[in-house]
Amino acid sequence: MNRFLKYILVFILPFPIIAAILEYEIRKVPNPYKYKYEWMQKNAADVVTLVFGSSHTFWGIRPEYLEGKAFNLANVSQGWEQDWFLLNYWANNYKQLRTVIIPISFFSWFSQGMEYGFESFRCRYYKIYMDCNLYSDFSKYSLELFDWDTARIKLQKLYSNSIELDYDELGCGNVNKLTGKNLKMWENGSEADAAIKRHTAKNWDFIAKNQAIMKHIAVFCKNHNIQLILITTPCWSSYTDNLDKKQLAKMYELTHQFQHEYQLPYFDYLKDPRFTADDFIDSNHLSDVGAIKFSQILNADILSLSK
Distance CA 121, CA 228 (A): 29
Residue 1 has a pLDDT of 53
Residue 7 has a pLDDT of 57
Q: Is 203 part of a structural domain of the chain?
A: yes
Residue 263 has a pLDDT of 97
pTM over 0.85: yes
The enclosing domain of 278 has a CATH number of 3.40.50.1110
Q: Is 45 part of a structural domain of the chain?
A: yes
State how far the alpha carbon of 306 is from the alpha carbons of 52, 160, 230, 301, 302, in Å.
22, 51, 16, 10, 8
Residue 112 has a pLDDT of 94
Q: Is 215 part of a structural domain of the chain?
A: yes
* Domain count of the fold of the chain: 1
Q: Is 5 part of a structural domain of the chain?
A: no
**φ and ψ of 232, to 5 deg:** -120, 120
Q: Which residues of the chain have pLDDT under 50?
A: none
Q: Is 178 part of a structural domain of the chain?
A: yes
Residue 12 has a pLDDT of 65
**φ and ψ of 24, to 5 deg:** -60, -45
Residue 74 has a pLDDT of 98
Residue 93 has a pLDDT of 98
Distance CA 58, CA 73 (A): 8
Q: Is 160 part of a structural domain of the chain?
A: no
Residue 44 has a pLDDT of 98
Distance CA 302, CA 265 (A): 9
Q: Is 55 part of a structural domain of the chain?
A: yes
Domain that holds residue 144: 32-155+165-304
Q: Is 25 part of a structural domain of the chain?
A: no
